[in-house]
Chains A and B, each alone.
Chain A
Amino acid sequence: GAVVSQHPSRVICKSGTSVKIECRSLDFQATTMFWYRQFPKQSLMLMATSNEGSKATYEQGVEKDKFLINHASLTLSTLTVTSAHPEDSSFYICSARVAGIRPTSDSGANVLTFGAGSRLTVL
């Protein structure tokens, strides 16, 4: 089945530094990837939708200059947290949609796969 690999799984950095998180689709091509953020005991909040070859679409309230998203190929999207601060500490999860498969009422869910997540701690 479709596998999404996310790296690193855990990262600790100093305040003011930038951190890059990679999301790769291992055995399929992903035209669309989604980046989520999850705080403890909270639901996943969609941050942005990343489309291959075009600019990401950010959700309201998400700073695009803070969270840089690049989807340069059909198998890789990256999220860069720039000038990270302690309040950026969170669990970041990507998901990918399989290219070329049009979801149906029964198979729609088959085309969205989540990565294992990346836990960012900013000191």
Chain B
Amino acid sequence: QKEVEQDPGPLSVPEGAIVSLNCTYSNSAFQYFMWYRQYSRKGPELLMYTYSSGNKEDGRFTAQVDKSSKYISLFIRDSQPSDSATYLCAMSAGEGGSEKLVFGKGTKLTVNP
């Protein structure tokens, strides 16, 4: 079993839709959870960062972590065409979350106008 599983999609939604992206993981030591957005041929850009379990909201984005189920989610409200990108979940057991991030494969999202 891979440490981090993420459905690669692709996922195509109409503009304005609510998007749900998910990852599961197997390593119970993970404490730091991140979502990155990666546009084509570009490096990842941090979207959301969550420590341990719980929810975190930032504008149209909400990140949820359920450590008991080893499941994390990213919700995008009122999706826009500019949200079209690949979304990568990442997690770490290390202090501060910056060491040895383990990434999911990424889910490719297309938001159609």
Contact = CB atoms under 8 A, between A and B. Distances in A.
Contact of A46 (B6, B34, B88, B101): B101
Interface string B41-71: 1111110010110000000000000000000
Contact of A117 (B43, B51, B99, B105): B43
Contacts of A114: 36, 43-46
Contact of A112 (B41, B42, B98, B103): B98
A108 B41 contact: no
A116 B43 contact: yes
A119 B42 CA distance: 10
Interface of B: 4, 6, 8, 32, 34, 36, 41-46, 49, 51-52, 88, 90, 95-101, 103-106
Interface of A: 4, 6, 32, 34, 41-46, 49, 91, 93, 95, 97, 102-106, 108-109, 111-112, 114-117, 119
